[in-house]
Amino acid sequence: MNLKKVLSPDAVWVDLKADSKQGIIEEMIARLVAAGKLSDREAVLKAVVEREAKMSTGMQNGVAIPHGKTDAVESLVAAIGINKSGVPFDSMDGSPCTIFIMTISPTQRTGPHIQFLAEVSRLISQPAERDRLLAAKTHGDIYEILTRK
């Protein structure tokens, strides 16, 4: 999957401010609403929080992948944010998360969501790529790192 088809520069942030799991989720959703990517903030928030309650999406190596499915979107919406301070996210390795990948997808469609996560996971599984993301100074730097081919 070409990440440029899903990600846009206005859905990539180097400066997430929240310092809690709930705060990160709410901040990312609010920024997606402000960017015009989502219209029903409450439905999306409910979907992501309900999914997170089933099992934490805090992975390892400082990565969290909060996501949800809702009919409030017609196609996959994705965002990536960085909080360099690290946020407790109930991660698998117990470490704070610094890289946040959010996806919101329609209830009945799974293909694009899985393809997007597979492509991003391929990138961030490499320590050097995670380091590059964390060293990024601007939103554009992150977008460029993720979408270069």
CA distance 33 to 147: 22
In this prediction, the residues of the chain whose per-residue pLDDT falls under 50 are none
Q: Residue 76 burial by CB count (10 A; 0-12/13-18/19+): exposed, middle or buried? A: buried
- Whether residue 113 lies in the annotated active site: no
| pTM of the entire predicted model | 0.93
CA distance 9 to 114: 21
- Spatial CA neighbour of 25 closest among 34, 12, 38, 16: 16
- Spatial CA neighbour of 91 closest among 61, 54, 133, 128: 61
Q: Which structural domain range is residue 79 located in?
A: 3-147
CATH of the domain at 83: 3.40.930.10
- Spatial CA neighbour of 6 closest among 111, 89, 131: 111
Tell me how many domains the chain contains.
1
Check residue 12 and give its pLDDT: 96
Check residue 19 and give its pLDDT: 97
Among 67, 69, 113, 139, the active-site one is 67
